[in-house]
Amino acid sequence: YCAKVRNDGAVIYDAAQDKSSEQSLSLLTELRHAIERDEFRLFVQPKIALQTGQVVGMEALVRWQHPQRGNVFPDQFIPFAEQTGFIRVLTRWVMERSVQLCQQLEQAGQQLKISVNLSTRDLMDQDLPAKFGEMLQRHGQSPKSFCLEITESAIMDDPVRAQNTLAALSAMGFELSIDDFGTGYSSLAYLKSLPVNELKIDKSFVLNMETDTGDYRIVQSTISLARAMDLRVVAEGIENEKVWSLLAGMDCDQGQGYFMSRPIPAAQMRDWLAGWRPPSIGQALSTE
Ligand code: C2E
Ligand code: MG
Ligand code: MG
Ligand code: MG
């Protein structure tokens, strides 16, 4: 980390790099402690059927409540957890909490699917399917209640290994989703060969689709592509009713976004569900 090799082969000490590697080391130590100190929190964001307004499931999103830094968002530590391999520990934590939540909701009479995000390293983790299987068994839950989200780039990092892990997970009964679709470099021919059930359109295309024609067309063509491949299609980043009604009119199946709900602590999900009133979509649609 702290050494740079010059053209002539000499190794130069780089203090700036050293400082950052020290920081990385302390971040890794803190991440490890965060598990023991119970600083991670499971948040969930509801997934809504856009034609009916019914809640169909939720996505599990992790938060880190750091004693000094406050709420640390996943974008600030997931890439690092990924680089260092800590992600495997974290993914297992998220899955365990999601399985518990699913069991609690079931006991309260709610059958909702929970989506869990996987990273590149998870796809290379040979033990992952067995570990998940064991957690489900312990809580009397079925893989059919879970959807695993994988980004295109995570799959393309090592397509062969990804294919093996995904085939194993799919054979167990997990649903699979391609997350942030449209932002990576996957080939359609390759995606077609995977046992995928769902495409999630990245929020970067959805956020401004009312005003940006380019984004609108990307969303439109992704929905047609999903239809042609017989996949469910989900839009993330719905921030207002207009975008919901546009997507509903384009035959998009499901959506997530701040308009319906920001991610909330898992413990608040039951109350949120009890209070959810779908907007009158018919009315919204007719204003197009
Ligand atoms: P993602 O899986 O694509 O999750 C969607 C992100 O969009 C979430 O950010 C969510 O809070 C945000 N979002 C949802 N609706 C809206 C909206 O209407 N407007 C805007 N502006 N944003 C919206 P979050 O929770 O910060 O997570 C960011 C990314 O971190 C996730 O993207 C996912 O890739 C990763 N991540 C989060 N939790 C986990 C986890 O448990 N495991 C792994 N491997 N990755 C995770
Ligand atoms: Mg996701
Ligand atoms: Mg996404
Ligand atoms: Mg995204």
- Ligand 1 pocket residue status of 94, Cβ below 6 Å: yes
The pLDDT of residue 5: 52
CA distances from 211 to 50, 167, 216, 246, 280 (A): 20, 40, 8, 12, 23
Sign of CA pseudo-dihedral 68, 70, 75, 77:
positive
What is the per-residue pLDDT across 23-56, written as a single tens digit (0 to 9) for each? 777 888 899 999 999 999 999 999 999 999 999 9
Ligand 4: centre distance to CA 197 (Å): 18
> Ligand 1 atom 25: the closest Cα is on which residue?
61
ipTM of the complex, rounded to two decimals: 0.97
Where residue 189 falls among pLDDT bands split at 50, 70, 90?
Answer: confident
pLDDT above 90: percentage of residues in the chain: 75
- Ligand 1 pocket residue status of 237, Cβ below 6 Å: yes
> Ligand 1 atom 3: the closest Cα is on which residue?
180
Q: From CA 116, how far away is CA 130, in angstroms rounded?
A: 16
What is the per-residue pLDDT across 126-180, written as a single tens digit (0 to 9) for each? 899 999 999 999 999 999 999 999 998 888 888 889 999 999 999 999 999 999 9
Question: Could you tell me if 50 and 247 are in contact, meaning their C-beta atoms sit under 8 angstroms apart?
Answer: yes
The pLDDT of residue 257: 98
The pLDDT of residue 15: 43
- Ligand 1 pocket residue status of 180, Cβ below 6 Å: yes
Q: Which ligand is nearest to the CA of 81?
A: 1
Ligand 3: centre distance to CA 237 (Å): 9
DSSP structure class, residue 252 = -
User: Which residue from 257, 194, 202 is spatially nearest to 230, judged by alpha carbons?
Assistant: 194
Sign of CA pseudo-dihedral 153, 87, 178, 135:
positive
- Ligand 1 pocket residue status of 257, Cβ below 6 Å: yes
Model confidence, pTM:
0.91
- Ligand 1 pocket residue status of 245, Cβ below 6 Å: no
Q: Which ligand is nearest to the CA of 149?
A: 2
Q: From CA 142, how far away is CA 205, in angstroms rounded?
A: 33
Ligand 4: centre distance to CA 205 (Å): 10
| Phi, then psi, of 190 in degrees rounded to 5 | -70, -45
